Structure 1
């Protein structure tokens, strides 16, 4: 799933997602068969990616996001917007991510951007045939 993790409102009773406020959506679910096929081809984990408007820089915020979205695998800033555009064009969407650093306190010395880019390049190569041969009407 592509999840708008912080789209909503803070209230005295806690965070309310935009859907609880009666507006729009806060989640897009890619076609499950496509997710399975891409994850298998890439040797990747499948699970929710959280779209946030502010990068998480504390362990407390990371824990709060994980508590609110159990099973989330990563956070990013672009996925939900791409999903909105895809929905308007009536095309399926999925988010393929390679992780260069852990969510939480920023430790630039631990970032592995080169490794993440190499992993993403490898994943694209492995998933391209799946995407080229996939027909959403067959699944």
Structure 2
């Protein structure tokens, strides 16, 4: 997706399902690997999730890139009924999943935990992925 209006509509109109927004570039290896996992998982999560790919090079989506502080690619953001869902994965940033998933089942488990938590009214859930399979990165703070 390259248009802000498309993303806005998806966030607003995805009801009773987790909306998974992958921010990245189709030309980057990590994004392609994540996209393969997302694509192969689409059928497994179709009852409780919708997946969309967001091209961060589009000028229109920069408002989201800035808002979610997308500095590492790929980054995956989750919504449920237009509410931003947070994921405590033991990293400093709970607003998104940074990096790729190592296994298809890791992605499915994360989406399922977010869905179950959201159905109980939670806005943040604990990550079910073992710590050794959670991507590690160094947070960079711009203009600090």
- Do they fold alike, i.e. is TM over 0.5? no
Structure with the largest fraction of strand: 2
Q: Which of these two proteins has the greater Rg computed from alpha carbons?
A: 1
